[in-house]
Amino acid sequence: MRIPFIAGNWKMFKTGREIVTFAEEFKALYQDTDVKTAICAPYVYLGLLKNLFSGTDIKVGAQNAFYEEEGAFTGEVSVKMLEDLGVDYCIIGHSERRQYFGETDESINKKLKRLFRGTVTPILCVGENLRQREKEEQYLVVRDQLMGALSGISPEDAASLIIAYEPVWAIGTGKTATPEQAEDMCEFIRNAVEALYGEAVADQVVIQYGGSVKPANASEIMNMSNIDGALVGGASLNAKDFMDIIDF
């Protein structure tokens, strides 16, 4: 049984004071739910969020991590540091990191391997850009991203993975993939996981859709059989909108 999982990706938004206000509002709205929830925030606020959400079921995630244990890597943050803060999840391979920060399938693979040696659960992002979709290369692109990211990852580790299908043309654009387009690719991803690891693992892997998810479209997306959750950017910045999505 896969438990629905809705995570917010705050990207590079909000400062401390705004985060305190959000947490107060969100905790007041948050009710017992069967849906798992997390907020993925900038590194500097992860400790603050862990404190603000302590005693609740609301989990905290990072948006990146480096694969080396420690050393002369100015500006980087290790998985051990995230573990030290009690961080629960870490987004890996978000399209903005691939696009602006040179993230490759190889570095993503190293990051996943490091995360699987510890306690922080990875959320692996995959997805094609507009040009690739127009050329009908989306399956090829997503398959290559999956193969590259999962190279050498064991079935036991893969079973605990969260995969977010995020078509780049739908991120922050207000343009959502139709529920059928999203389901079609999430089914393709599940089949690819099955081909790599077998049916039992494919049945366990949680697959999220991400790309302009809002309260108005959350329920039709979440009702698709291969979509187990959502990775929510813009709409997760507002406590009421994010809660409405969780309440899909």
Is the CB of 16 or the CB of 172 nearer to ligand PEP? 172
Region from 31-39, 52-60, 109-117, 229-237 binding ligand PEP, contact rule CB under 6 A = 229-237
Chain centre to alpha carbon of residue 244: 19
Which of residues 54 and 99 has its CB atom nearest to ligand PEP in the complex? Answer: 99
Residue 40: phi and psi, rounded to 5, are -100, 115
Query: Minimum Å distance from CB 81 to ligand PEP?
Result: 23
Q: Classify residue 31 by its DSSP letter.
A: -
Rounded to the nearest whole angstrom, what is the least distance from the CB of residue 42 to ligand PEP in the complex?
13
Among 132, 145, 208, 212, binds ligand PEP (CB under 6 A): 212
Q: Which of 231, 243, 245, 246 binds ligand PEP (CB under 6 A)?
A: 231
Q: Which stretch binds ligand PEP (CB under 6 A): 31-39, 112-120, 189-197, 228-236?
A: 228-236
Convert residues 144-183 into a mask of x (bound to ligand PEP by CB under 6 A) and - (unbound): ----------------------x----xx-----------
Helical H segments across 15-137, by residue range: 16-29, 46-52, 79-85, 95-100, 105-116, 130-134
| Residue closest to ligand PEP when measured from CB atoms | 233
Tell me if residue 166 is catalytic: yes
Secondary structure element (H or E) that encloses residue 190, with its range: helix 179-197
Give the one residue of 9, 64, 78, 208 binding ligand PEP; rule: CB under 6 A.
9
Q: Where are the alpha helices (DSSP H) in 90-175?
A: 95-100, 105-116, 130-134, 138-150, 155-159
Side-chain half-sphere of 231: how many Cα atoms within 13 Å? 37
**β-bridge partners, 91:** 123
Catalytic residue among 96, 103, 166, 183: 166
- The region of 13-21, 75-83, 150-158, 226-234 touching ligand PEP under the rule CB under 6 A is 226-234
Please say whether the beta carbons of 62 and 89 come within 8 A. Answer: yes
Determine the Cα–Cα distance for residues 100 and 77; give it in Å rounded to an integer. 18
Task: Extract the tokens encoding 223.
Answer: 């009702």
Q: Which two tokens stand for residue 170?
A: 């739908």
**Residue 199 a catalytic site member:** no
On whether the CB atoms of residues 148 and 109 are closer than 8 A, the answer is yes
Q: How far is the CB of 29 from ligand PEP (least distance, A)?
A: 19
Distance CA(143)–CA(137), nearest Å, equals: 10
Output the six-digit token pair for 8.
């917010």
Query: Which among 41-49, 179-187, 199-207, 233-241 is the span making contact with ligand PEP, rule CB under 6 A?
Result: 233-241
Tell me the closest approach of the beta carbon of residue 32 to ligand PEP, in angstroms.
25
Binding site for ligand PEP (CB under 6 A): 9, 11, 166, 171-172, 210-213, 231-235
> Which residues are tagged catalytic?
94, 166
